[in-house]
Structure 1
Amino acid sequence: MAETKNKATQPQTASQDFDLQASMHRAEDFYTKNKNIINIGLLAVVVVVGGFFAYNRFIKQPNETKAQEMIFQAQNSFAVDSFKVALNGNGNNYGFLQVIDKYGSTKAGNIAKYSAGVCYIRLGEYQKGIDMLKSFSSNDLMLQPAAFGLIGDAYMELNQVNDGIEFYKKAGHYNDNELTAPVYLFRAGMALRKAGKDQDAIAIFKEIKEKYPMSAEGREIDKYLAVLGDVRN
C-alpha cells in the first residue's frame, strides 16, 4: 500500500517537462510562422497608444488653448449684443465663424457653434441658426435644452410649426427641472394650439400642471386648460 501511495503522489516531473517543452516549441513555431502579423499588431498598439497621448499633448491641448484665445473677443461682442461682429469678426478680432472653421472640434469651437447659432437667430437668419445649433452638442443640462428651444423658436419664425413642436418637446423633456422644462413644454403646448392640435396641447399643459405646479407656467396653466375646454384636475 505504501509503495502504491508513493507512486500515486510522486510528481510526474519528466512528463510535465516534456509537455512544457512541447508547448514552448508549439509557441515558438506559431510565432515563427506568424511573427510578421504579431509584430505589426504590437506595433499598431504602440502607435495607437502613443498617438493618443501625443495627440492630446501636442495637438488637442494646444488647439484648445488657441481656440479659447480666438473666441475671447467674439464673446465680448456677443455680450453687448453686437451679433454681426461676434459672428464675423471685425478685421482686428476673430468671430465665432473663424473659430469654428479653424478649431470646430474643440470645446471652445463647440461653444462657438452655439453662440453663432444664437447670433444668426438674433439677426433674423433663422435657417442658418437652425443648422448651426444642430451642429452643436453638449451634455450640459441647461445649455443643450436651450439650444433645442432656440431651434424650436427659429422653426416657429419660419412658420414650420410641426418642427417647432418637435424641438420644444425635445427641450422640455431633456432635463426634468423647474427652470427650463416647463418653459419649453409650455411653448410646445402653445405651438400645438396654433397647429389645431388641441388634445395634444391639453396633454402637454396637464403634464406641466402635474410635474411643475410651482413654476410660473404651472401656476397659470388652469386658464389655458379652461380656454381649451378642459378644467378637470
Structure 2
Amino acid sequence: MEPTERAATGGTDDRTESIFEWLHANSRLFGIATAVVAAVALGGWLYTRAQAGKELRAEQDLQRAQASMVQGNTPLAQTDLEKLVSTRGGTSGAAQGAMLLAQLHYQAGEYQKGIDVLEKSGAARKEFEAPVEALIGDGFSQLGKYAEAAAHYRKAADATRFKADRGNYLADAARNLTAAKDTAAARQIWQDIAKDETSPLAAEAKVRIGELTARPETKS
C-alpha cells in the first residue's frame, strides 16, 4: 500500500474510532434522550386516548339529555344537562349541552341564568363561538340590554364562517342598536348590508335606512 493510501486509510480509521469512542462515552446521554422521546410519545398517545374517551362520554350524556327533551321530560333533561356541563367541561358535548341548557332557561324566562351558563361554561369553543355569542345576544335582548346584545351579535358575525349567518347576526345587531337608540351605528350596519344586492336582507336594510334617516341621529 502506498504511503498516501495508508495515510488516508489511517485517517478514516482514526475518525471512525473517534466516533465510536464519543458514542460510547455518551451512551448514557443517548439512553436518556431516547427514554424522554418515548415518554413524550406515550404521554401524547395516552392524553389523546383519554380525551377521545371524555368526548365520547360527553356525547353519550348529551344524547341522553336530548332524549329526555324529546320525551317532554324537561326537568330530567335540565338535570342531565347541568351535570354534563359541570363534569365534561372542555368537550364538544358539554359546549352543545350548555347551549341547550341556556335555551331551557330562556324558555322559562330565566334569561340571566341562561347567559351565565354560556359565559361560565366555556361553551364558546372556536367551532361554537358564533352560535354561543348569538345566544348570549338573545338573552341580553330579552333583558332589554340592547347595547350589550348588539355587541354579542357583532361578535357572532365576526366569528361565523357563513355569509348568510353573518348577515343575520349583523341585522340582529342593527335592530338592537336601534332599540338602544344608537341610530347612527344601526344605520351604518344596514347600509353595509344593503350594498350586497344578493343578500336576502337587502330589501329590509333599505327600508330600515329610510326609517333611521327620518329620525334625529343619536350616538355613534
What TM-score, normalized by structure 1, do the two folds share? 0.74
Match of residue 91 from structure 1: none
Tell me which of 124, 142, 148 is aligned to 1:137. Answer: 124
Tell me which of 41, 44, 47 is aligned to 1:49. Answer: 41
Match of residue 140 from structure 2: 155
Task: Report deviation, 1:41.
Answer: 4.1
CA distance in 2, matches of 1:196, 1:11: 93
CA distance in 1, matches of 2:34, 2:177: 59
- Is 1:227 the counterpart of 2:218? The answer is no
CA distance in 2, matches of 1:81, 1:186: 33
Match of residue 67 from structure 2: 76
CA distance in 2, matches of 1:11, 1:218: 87
CA distance in 2, matches of 1:150, 1:17: 74
When residues 223 and 112 of structure 1 are mapped into structure 2, their CA distance, relative to the original with a 3 A threshold, is same
Match of residue 92 from structure 1: none
When residues 83 and 222 of structure 1 are mapped into structure 2, their CA distance, relative to the original with a 3 A threshold, is farther
Q: In 1, are the aligned partners of 2:154 and 2:169 still within 8 Å (CA)?
A: yes
Q: In 2, are the aligned partners of 1:86 and 1:119 still within 8 Å (CA)?
A: no
Gaps of 5+ in 2: 215-220
When residues 67 and 225 of structure 1 are mapped into structure 2, their CA distance, relative to the original with a 3 A threshold, is same
When residues 14 and 126 of structure 1 are mapped into structure 2, their CA distance, relative to the original with a 3 A threshold, is same
Give the alignment's Cα RMSD to 1 decimal.
3.0
Higher relative contact order (CA 8 A, sep 6+): 2
Q: In 2, are the aligned partners of 1:213 and 1:219 still within 8 Å (CA)?
A: no
CA offsets, 1:136-164, max 9 Å, x none? 13454xx5422211111112233333321
Aligned residue for 2:90, secondary structure, equals coil
Task: Report deviation, 1:80.
Answer: 6.3
Match of residue 218 from structure 2: none
Match of residue 199 from structure 1: 184
Amino acid at match of 1:65: L
CA distance in 2, matches of 1:17, 1:151: 74
CA offsets, 1:71-118, max 9 Å, x none? 223112334675443211xxxxxx111122333333322322222222
- Is 1:184 the counterpart of 2:194? The answer is no
Aligned-residue identity in percent: 21
Amino acid at match of 1:125: E
Count how many residue pairs are aligned between Structure 1 and Structure 2.
211
- 1:33-182 equivalent positions in 2, closer than 5 A: 35=28, 39-57=31-49, 59-79=50-70, 83-88=74-79, 95-134=80-119, 135-140=122-127, 143-175=128-160, 177-182=162-167
Aligned residue for 1:227, secondary structure, equals helix
Q: In 1, are the aligned partners of 2:94 and 2:123 still within 8 Å (CA)?
A: no
Task: Report deviation, 1:121.
Answer: 2.5
Q: In 1, are the aligned partners of 2:130 and 2:156 still within 8 Å (CA)?
A: yes
Gaps of 5+ in 1: 89-94
